[in-house]
Structure 1
Amino acid sequence: MITAMNAYLIPLLLVLAAVLLACCFPSATGQYMVRAYLRLAGFRSRRLRLEQGELAFLEGGQGSNVLLIHGFGGDGPASWGRVMAGLIRRHHVLVPDLLWFGRSHAASAPSLMAQADALEALIRARIAGPVQLVGLSYGGFVALELARRLPQQVSQLVIMASPGMVYTPEDQQDLLARARVASAEQLFVPADPQGVARMMAMVGSPLARAPQFLLKDVWQFYYRDRAPQLRALMQELATRQEQHLERFSQPLAMPVAVIWGSQDEIFPLDIGQRLALLLDAPLITIDGGTHVLPVVFAVQTLAALQDILQGNSPQV
């Protein structure tokens, strides 16, 4: 009888424990569930040793090589989860956690160049042949730097909700005014749960309306213990803006496509239009899309990416 009871009690206790864990630590549980889902889809967790740290990444699939680079916040799986699962059917997909995000870390000074160094090492270690780069927001800057460094290997560049070389000081001031903050660090590296809610509202995430305990958990999980490095990253991007933009303004050797949300409050659509015009690139606009396109508008984002990556004429 005890054995029979255990057959029912043990699964029930496991379910109750999972529910309790989800209530107390929803970010950790959500991260576990996303990674479990991606493992079932065919991805495997891997790590690449760097000179001063370690780069965590997910890898899966066969076919043409695609590298997805997330933005300033979260990590690879949180940003690209549903899109990754769709792309793996036809592509060899790599999704890293940028340094100081997710499971990646480094002892070097936080900078855009350090991010590019790490991903260049990943490309050289795991990709033979051409690679298609997709950069979201901050990841778009990293993608531009990689395209500049590896013109013979990067066969295509997709810039998603990332202003690149057309971003001006006036654009920056307009963003700070919309967000009602004094600096980019204050917006993108929240100091408390209220800061998380403000940022989520700006990027168009449903988490902006989440209860206080969930916002606190997100802040603790993603920001609290790495705030100094993230602030340093954002400060470096701002203080070296002129040097970065001058480097990015060099002609690119590969085709470029631009994807943008029509309701992006971080980088409004007119910035995407200016960027596409400068690069002579098609602009694919996702109607109603906010800044976090792969998260909130995953179906539309996946469809746009599949068309671009497979060489179909994107619908402008």
Structure 2
Amino acid sequence: MPPIDVRGHSLMYDDGGDGEVVLCIHGFPFNRSMWDEARLALASRYRVLSPDLRGFGESSGSESWTLDDQANDLIELLDQLGIDRVAVLGLSMGGYIALNLARRYPERLWAMVLIDTKATSDNYDAKQNRLKTAETALREGAAPIAAQMLPKLLSPANADDQRLIERLNSMMLTTNPKTIASAAHAMASRPDSTPYLSTMALPSMVIVGNDDQITTPNDAHAMVAALPHASLVTIPDAGHMSVLEQPEIAYGAIRVFLEQAQQG
């Protein structure tokens, strides 16, 4: 698809399939290609929309922004495409943005899938680590960030999967260092979504890899306990990238959930 000008930035996106719209929001520091399997798994029944967030992939706008800005961009994208309501899928940082949408634009969502993410804000140590990430990216580029993150992303069961490792590295290494810094600052300053979970009455599913050491199964359980209409799916032999590590299991669960959410 050709890019769309959204709030002064050029946003690239993939758009395919027919039916109710599923909006896929990628994680940090990745891009829309992490949703390639989503299009294969879901496009026979749904219209799958997967943008590169501002500054990521082929979208412009690496300068300073907040998660509110990213959420507003997505609403503007939906408006320009004439899309009223979506089911939102968000992984990690994409989950933070999905929660932002559910809090600020609940009328635009008909279902929500939170993948390898959490509702709580960063504690002091986590915020300091984010700021160090930003400084390192601006000083040394994306390579040290990728090297630091990669060992934490995958389950031990997938630690030697060279195809997956190369795919993750390719996405991380091609991310603009200024975007990495902007994202780190944005995530460090994000609010705690926990107090708002009880107000999010839409059908929700939380997916977590059983070996996720970044956003843990405990984080997932806490969200499910607070959301009014939520189910939990734990993916075996998966870490922080469960939809890439075990796509058949993850997307099988997502398909069933979306069908049930449509039926009300």
TM-score, normalised to structure 2, is 0.83
In 2, Cα distance between equivalents of 1:108 and 1:200: 25
Q: CA deviation at 1:53?
A: 0.9
Aligned equivalent of 2:203, options 243, 255, 259:
255
Q: Which residue in the other structure is 1:297 paired with?
A: 246
Aligned equivalent of 2:225, options 250, 256, 277:
277
Residue ranges of structure 1 left out of the alignment (5+ in a row) = 1-44, 177-181
List per-residue Cα deviations over 1:7-55 (Å, max 9, x = no partner). xxxxxxxxxxxxxxxxxxxxxxxxxxxxxxxxxxxxxx23111232111
In 2, Cα distance between equivalents of 1:187 and 1:289: 25
Aligned equivalent of 1:196, options 146, 149, 158:
146
Secondary structure of residue in 1 paired with 2:207: strand
In 2, Cα distance between equivalents of 1:207 and 1:104: 30
In 2, Cα distance between equivalents of 1:57 and 1:247: 32
Identity of aligned pairs, percent?
A: 24
In 2, Cα distance between equivalents of 1:218 and 1:245: 31
Q: CA deviation at 1:192?
A: 5.7
Secondary structure of residue in 1 paired with 2:255: helix
Cα 1:218–1:86 shift into 2, 3 Å: closer
In 1, Cα distance between equivalents of 2:83 and 2:65: 28
Q: CA deviation at 1:232?
A: 2.2
Cα 1:228–1:204 shift into 2, 3 Å: same
TM-score, normalised to structure 1, is 0.70
Of structures 1 and 2, the one scoring higher in RCO (CA 8 A, sep 6+) is 2
Aligned equivalent of 1:112, options 43, 67, 75:
67
What is the RMSD of the two structures over their aligned residues, measured on CA atoms?
3.1
The structure number with the bigger radius of gyration is 1
Q: Does 1:70 align with 2:22?
A: no
* Structure 2 letter corresponding to 1:196: A
Higher helix share: 1
Question: 1:200·1:207 contact (CA, 8 Å) conserved in 2?
Answer: no
Aligned equivalent of 1:61, options 7, 10, 17:
17
In 1, Cα distance between equivalents of 2:121 and 2:242: 20
Cα 1:208–1:192 shift into 2, 3 Å: farther
Q: CA deviation at 1:149?
A: 2.7
In 2, Cα distance between equivalents of 1:259 and 1:66: 16
Question: 1:69·1:134 contact (CA, 8 Å) conserved in 2?
Answer: yes
Cα 1:204–1:128 shift into 2, 3 Å: same
Aligned equivalent of 2:53, options 98, 108, 124:
98
Residue ranges of structure 2 left out of the alignment (5+ in a row) = none
Cα 1:121–1:309 shift into 2, 3 Å: same
Aligned equivalent of 1:218, options 166, 170, 173:
170
In 2, Cα distance between equivalents of 1:119 and 1:220: 22
Q: CA deviation at 1:143?
A: 1.0
Question: 1:158·1:259 contact (CA, 8 Å) conserved in 2?
Answer: yes
Question: 1:201·1:208 contact (CA, 8 Å) conserved in 2?
Answer: no
Cα 1:292–1:262 shift into 2, 3 Å: same
